[in-house]
Amino acid sequence: MSTPIGYLVSIGGAEDKGTDLEKGIIERNRLNFFELGILKNIVKLLNHTEAPVVEVITTASSIPDEVAENYVHAFSKLGCAKIGHLRIRNREDASNQEYIQRLKECDCVMFSGGNQLRLSSIFGGTLFLDILKERYDTEKFVIAGTSAGAMAMSNTMIYEGNAAQAHLKGEVKITTGLGLVQNVIIDSHFDKRGRFNRLAQAVAANPGTIGIGLGEDTGVIVTGGVQLQAIGSGSVVIIDGKSIHYNNIADITFGQPISVENIIVNIMSVGDIYNIATRKFEGREIIINDEG
């Protein structure tokens, strides 16, 4: 696989409440205030184009118009002149010629949150996804996603798993994601929802992968397909299964609690760089993370 020229921006998502970004009013809509700081990092990646075009993909969400309106508002505030809404609700929409044309012409797509199974089942095997990957591989194209939109980026995707039961075999359900990044499993809302065991089980069952646990108000920028840089105010927990010794997951029945020895865990904060190919920290860089 060649080294992608584009960038991924995976964001840990927000709660189902938010802020009118202009007026500072809470709970008007579902896009959280904090994302403005994160979105700023996305806009910075678009510096090479004079008038960047962003398309918001709301396929994962059950309230697409509300969500799109928020992102349009937020990206406008950050100086993006053209923000569109690819209102793709099913596989037929995904092959809509107008949408495909707009995908070819934009500089960035932003996948909203919602249900990651909608993303994998609607985009899997489509021309739309092929074009998305092609542009990511060969151009300075930016693919951003929050919550479900982040979780669907990997090849191995968690689609269900109650945190309180996540120490039991079989409780963490895995399927195939969009495959934009290989050998990782991305989880979102990581601290807030206590998902350590959930991601650890996913990694224990797939020790070749690296678990990326994204906190809220937090994300990673993926460069060259392997280099992760943390952005935002929270932490990114990296769960690396390569050194696991004892692991009972193959031997126990469904519903039994798992035991796993010697998982390596890294905690990244803003600016930290981690390489998923070498599985090591590669230093740190100061990132502007203000909200203003």
284 is a contact residue toward its own copies (CB under 8 A): yes
Q: Specify whether the CB–CB gap between 178 and 119 falls below 8 A.
A: yes
Q: Does the protein bind its own copies through residue 202 (CB under 8 A)?
A: no
List the one residue out of 251, 257, 255 whose CA is nearest residue 167: 257
Is residue 233 at the binding interface for its own copies, with CB under 8 A as the rule? yes
C-alpha distances out from residue 240 to 56, 135, 183, 206, Å: 32, 29, 11, 10
CB nearer its own copies, residue 6 or residue 241:
241
Residue type, 141: F
Q: How far apart are CA 290 and CA 38, in angstroms?
A: 9
**What does the block give as tokens for 41?**
């990092």
Q: Which residues are within 8 A (CB) of 98 and not within 5 positions of it... i.e. 6 or more apart? A: none
Type of residue at 242:
K
Q: Are 174 and 198 in contact (CB under 8 A)?
A: no
Positive or negative torsion for Cα 186, 111, 217, 281: positive
Question: Of the two residues 79 and 194, which places its CB atom closer to its own copies in the complex?
Answer: 194
Cβ neighbours for 172, distance < 8 A, ≥ 6 positions apart: 158, 160, 161, 166, 198, 201, 202, 205
Distances in whole angstroms, Cα of residue 260 to Cα of each of 46, 256, 266: 42, 13, 17
* Least CB distance to its own copies at residue 263 (A): 4
The answer to whether 235 contacts its own copies (rule: CB under 8 A) is yes
Tell me: does residue 277 bind its own copies (CB under 8 A).
no
Instruction: List the beta bridge partners of residue 284.
Output: 272
- Residue 91 contacts its own copies per CB under 8 A: no
Stretch of 119-127, 132-140, 151-159, 164-172 lying at the interface with its own copies (CB under 8 A): 164-172
Q: Which stretch binds its own copies (CB under 8 A): 9-17, 51-59, 96-104, 239-247?
A: 239-247
Closest CA to 166 of 232, 123, 104, 213: 213
Of the pair 81, 267, the CB lying nearest its own copies is at: 267
Q: Is 26 in the site for its own copies (CB under 8 A)?
A: no
Q: Which is nearer to its own copies, 130 or 261 (CB)?
A: 261
Residue selected from 66, 179, 193, 275 as contacting its own copies according to rule CB under 8 A = 193
Answer yes or no: are the C-beta atoms of 1 and 182 closer than 8 Å: yes
Q: Is 138 in the site for its own copies (CB under 8 A)?
A: no
Among 43, 234, 276, 287, binds its own copies (CB under 8 A): 234
State the minimum distance, in angstroms, from the CB of residue 197 to its own copies. Answer: 6
Task: Give the count of residues interacting with its own copies (CB under 8 A).
Answer: 41
76 contacts its own copies (rule: CB under 8 A): no
Q: Which of 203, 192, 75 is nearest to 144 (CA)?
A: 75
Judged by CB under 8 A, the chain residues 205 through 224 that form the site for its own copies are 215
Closer residue to its own copies in complex, CB, 225/232: 232
Among 192, 207, 227, 275, binds its own copies (CB under 8 A): 192
**Binding characters for its own copies, 241-270, by CB under 8 A (x = yes):** ----xx-x-------xxxxxxxxxxxxxxx
Q: Which residues bind its own copies (CB under 8 A)?
A: 163-164, 166-167, 191-197, 200, 204, 215, 233-235, 237, 239, 245-246, 248, 256-270, 272, 280-281, 284
